[in-house]
Amino acid sequence: MIKTFMFDALKQATDEEMARDKKVFILGEDVGHYGGSYKVTKGLHAKYGDLRVLDTPIAENSFTGMAIGAAMTGLKPIVEGMNMSFLLLAFNQISNNAGMLRYTSGGNFKIPIVIRGPGGVGRQLGAEHSQRLEAYFQAIPGLKIVACSTPYNAKGLLKSAIRDENPVIFFEHVLLYNLQENIPNQEYILPLDKAEIVKSGQDITILTYSRMRHHVSEAVTTLVKQGYDPEIIDLISLKPLDLSTISKSIKKTHNVLIVEECMKTAGIGAELIAQINENLFDYLDSPVVRLSSQDLPTPYNGKLEQATIIHPYQIVQEVEKMLKRSI
C-alpha cells in the first residue's frame, strides 16, 4: 500500500494501460508537454511520444469526433476534457456518434473510448467552469457513466473503463484531485456497474456520489454520535444505476435520502427517485428526499457559491427530520 493523490492514481491507471496495450492513446488540450491542467498526464508525453499523447487545438467537437473515429478503427482513445463543461461543444459527437454507432452499425463497430476530466463546483471557477454534466449525458443511450470519488476507486475504475468496449464518460471532481489514500501496489480493477457500500447501517439509506460522498461521511460521523445508524452508498455507476445494491439497502432501512451536487431539476436524484418509486415504493416508510444544488448558474462570489451546494450540517438536519417523521 502506498499513499497516493487522486491525480496520481489516475495517471498510474493511464500509464499502466498504455504500457499494457499499444492501442491506448490520449488526446486533449495541454495533455502532452504541459502534463494536463491537473497533472493527470504529467510525464506521459516524454514516455510515449507525440503519437500516443496528442496535444490538440481548442476544438472539443473536432478532437472528440476524431477520437470516436479512431475507436471505430480499433484504437482505444482517452479524451481529456480540460473541464468537462467544455465537452458541451462535443455533445453532438458524444450523443449522435459515440453513443449510437455500435447500434446503428448493427454491431459492426465497437466504440472503446473514455471521455474523462474535471467537473463539479470548485472554488470560484465561475458558472461556465462549475457545471455538473452527469444528468446531461445520462439521457443518452449507449453510454456508461462513472463518477470516481477516491484515489482507490479512481484508479481501478479508470483501468476498467479503458478496457471496456463501450464509450465511458468518466467524471472526476475538481476538488478531489489532491485527496490522498493508501492504494495497493499490485494491479487491481473495479467493476463499472457496481455501487459501493461505504458504511452499513439500519436506519436510513443515503445515496450519493463524487465529492458529496465525503460530505455525507462527515455528516454521518455526527449522526452516529447522536445514536443514528445510517447506511452510505456511493453510486459510482450513474448509468446503469446499480439497483440491486440500492434495493437491498432500501428493503433493510425503508428510508432514503439522496445527496448530490447535480442540479435538482432532472438531475441524477430525480432519476433515482423515479426508479425507487417504480420498483421499491412498498418498502418505503417515508417519501424519498433529495438534497441537490440549486437550479441556477454557480456564482463566482465565494459565499454565494457555497450557498448553492449541500453541506454536512444540512444532511444531519434532514436525516433527523426524516427519521423523526418516519417513526
Q: How many residues does the chain have?
A: 327
How far apart are alpha carbons 142 and 316 in whole angstroms?
A: 37
**Ordered alpha helix ranges (H), 35-178:** 44-48, 60-72, 91-92, 101-104, 134-138, 151-163
Is residue 129 annotated as part of the catalytic site, yes or no? yes
Say what angle helices 268-280 and 243-253 make with each other, to 10 degrees: 60
* Catalytic member of 29, 60, 172, 305: 60
Which helix (H) or strand (E) covers residue 281, if one does?
Answer: none
213, amino acid identity: R
* Sign of the torsion formed by the C-alpha atoms of 26, 168, 146 and 122: positive
Q: 27, 43, 32: which is closest to 76 by C-alpha? A: 27
Is residue 33 annotated as part of the catalytic site, yes or no? no
Which are the contacts of 264, defined by CB distance < 8 A and separation ≥ 6? 270, 290, 292, 293, 294, 295
DSSP 133-162: -HHHHHTSTT-EEEE--SHHHHHHHHHHHH
Pull the grid cell for residue 69.
473515429
Nearest 5°: the CA angle 190, 194, 199 is: 95
Say what angle helices 6-20 and 151-163 make with each other, to 10 degrees: 30
* Catalytic member of 17, 29, 45, 129: 129
Which SS3 state, helix, strand or coil, does residue 66 take?
A: helix
Enumerate the active-site residues: 60, 129
